[in-house]
């Protein structure tokens, strides 16, 4: 079995590393400093038990190396989705399933426009992932992936995916309501990623501050209203409590958005709160908390202050 990792960041690097350790042929499509590090040092995979060095995988920036992949884990940042899928589309056949574990709630639709909906499997990951340095990928807590069909069926292809993927030691769940589960994670991301990026606080610090914790709750309430307008009916109390419990499990963790800001990288603001504002406009709703958070983070990341 041949598996492609498109986007060798914290999530792609960790999941691909686990697949490689399980004995699968893995192609890591990467670039820049990450690719240089992978080729010279190998992939450094850090778990809570051990640090592994993987050198047997294929590390490349040549998209043609994806030919013949049975699965592709598509883990690029949301702002690169359209450009990257158009770059690799000629090397993806109808026999290849593309699993999108990306942040955001509409990347799967972008992929489906190019590949066809039948070739795309929406998914989500849970756990805390980071990349301390190029080519070094860490998860020292829990790691999980959830996949599902748009129609809610527990298909043969999902069962096949779950069977082989479980050999990595990563927990796999097949969901009959994948869009609902993706919205739940989207609400977590649009809340904790955005607020952590603005405040520069870890998840545990956010939850331990009553004022900021209350801001998170108010943010989530607006997002739950938006989800309802999009046909995803969520119980407000259960969703908020579940989001906070999930965040607690991450502990003293810096969100991916905060990590990107600290490294001077672009962030997924438009895929998170930016898209929420688009949906609010579509449904003619006012969401002042999320509007304010967007404006603040936009100002932090897009504007350079000329202080004298």
166 and 225 share a domain? no
Contact 9, 37 (CB under 8 A): no
- Average pLDDT, integer, range 284-301: 96
Contact criterion met (CB below 8 Å) for 219 and 293: yes
Let me know whether 209 and 224 are in one domain: yes
Which residues make beta-bridge pairs with 123?
147
Is 308 inside a domain boundary? no
Q: Are residues 74 and 130 in the same domain?
A: yes
pLDDT at 306 over 80: no
Looking at the fold, whether 124 and 243 belong to one and the same domain comes out as no
Q: Give first-to-last CA distance, the chain, whole Å.
A: 59
Alpha helices of 230-287 — where are they, by DSSP H?
A: 236-250, 256-262, 275-282
Question: So what's the pLDDT on residue 195?
Answer: 98
Domain's final residue, options 117, 144, 175: 175
Same domain as 142, residue 120: yes
Tell me the average pLDDT of the chain. Answer: 95
Q: 190 and 77: one domain? A: no
Number of independent structural domains in the chain:
2
Q: Tokens at residue 136, please? A: 């070094």
* Closest to 288 (Cα-Cα) out of 222, 240, 226: 222
Task: Quote the pLDDT of residue 303.
Answer: 61
- Token pair belonging to 173: 């769940």
Percent share of the chain, pLDDT over 70: 98
Pair 23, 142 in one domain = yes
Contact residues for 113 (Cβ-Cβ < 8 A; gap 6+) = none
CATH number, domain of 113, equals 3.40.50.720
In a domain, 307, yes or no: no
Average pLDDT value for residue range 227-249: 96
Question: Residue 265 maps to which CATH number?
Answer: 1.10.1040.10
Q: What number is the average pLDDT over the span 163-185?
A: 95
Q: 171 with 41, same domain?
A: yes
Range of the domain at 35: 2-175
Alpha-helical (H) ranges within 43-138 are 81-88, 107-115
Is 126 found in the same domain as 52?
yes
What CA–CA distance (Å, rounded) separates 61 from 5?
Answer: 11
Under 8 Å between Cβ of 219 and 192: no
The predicted-structure confidence for 100-157, as pLDDT tens digits, reads as follows 999 999 999 999 999 999 999 999 999 999 999 999 999 988 899 999 999 999 999 9
Query: Which CA distances in Å does 220 have to 44, 174, 207?
Result: 36, 25, 14
CB-CB contact of 68 with 24 (8 Å): no
CA angle in degrees (0–180, nearest 5) for 174-73-22: 80
Q: What are 206's two structure tokens?
A: 């956010």
249 and 290 both lie in a single domain = yes
Strand pairing of 43-46 and 51-54?
Answer: antiparallel
């Amino acid at each position: 079995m041949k598996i492609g990792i498109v986007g060798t960041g914290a999530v792609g690097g960790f999941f691909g590393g686990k697949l490689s350790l399980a004995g699968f042929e893995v192609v890591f499509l990467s670039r820049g400093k990450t690719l240089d590090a992978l080729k010279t040092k190998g992939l450094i995979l850090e778990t809570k038990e051990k640090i592994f060095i993987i050198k047997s995988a294929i590390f490349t920036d040549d998209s043609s190396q994806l030919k013949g992949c049975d699965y592709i884990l598509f883990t690029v940042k949301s702002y690169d989705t359209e450009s990257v899928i158009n770059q690799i589309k000629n090397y993806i056949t109808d026999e290849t399933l593309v699993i999108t574990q990306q942040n955001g709630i509409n990347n799967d639709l972008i992929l489906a426009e190019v590949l066809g909906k039948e070739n795309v499997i929406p998914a989500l990951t849970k756990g805390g992932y980071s990349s301390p340095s190029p080519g070094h990928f860490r998860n020292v807590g829990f790691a999980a992936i959830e996949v599902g069909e748009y129609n809610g069926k527990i298909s043969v292809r999902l069962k096949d995916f779950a069977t082989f993927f479980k050999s990595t030691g990563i927990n796999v769940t097949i969901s009959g309501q994948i869009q609902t589960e993706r919205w739940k994670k989207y609400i977590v991301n649009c809340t904790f990623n955005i607020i952590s990026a603005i405040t520069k606080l870890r998840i545990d610090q956010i939850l331990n501050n009553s004022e900021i914790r209350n801001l998170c709750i108010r943010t989530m309430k607006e997002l739950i209203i938006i989800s309802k307008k999009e046909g995803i009916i969520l119980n407000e109390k259960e969703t908020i409590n579940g989001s906070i419990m999930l965040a607690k499990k991450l502990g003293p963790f810096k969100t991916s958005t905060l990590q990107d800001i600290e490294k001077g990288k672009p962030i997924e603001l438009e895929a998170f709160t930016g898209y929420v504002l688009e949906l609010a406009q579509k449904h003619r709703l006012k969401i002042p908390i999320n509007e304010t958070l967007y404006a603040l983070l936009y100002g932090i990341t897009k504007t350079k202050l000329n202080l004298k």
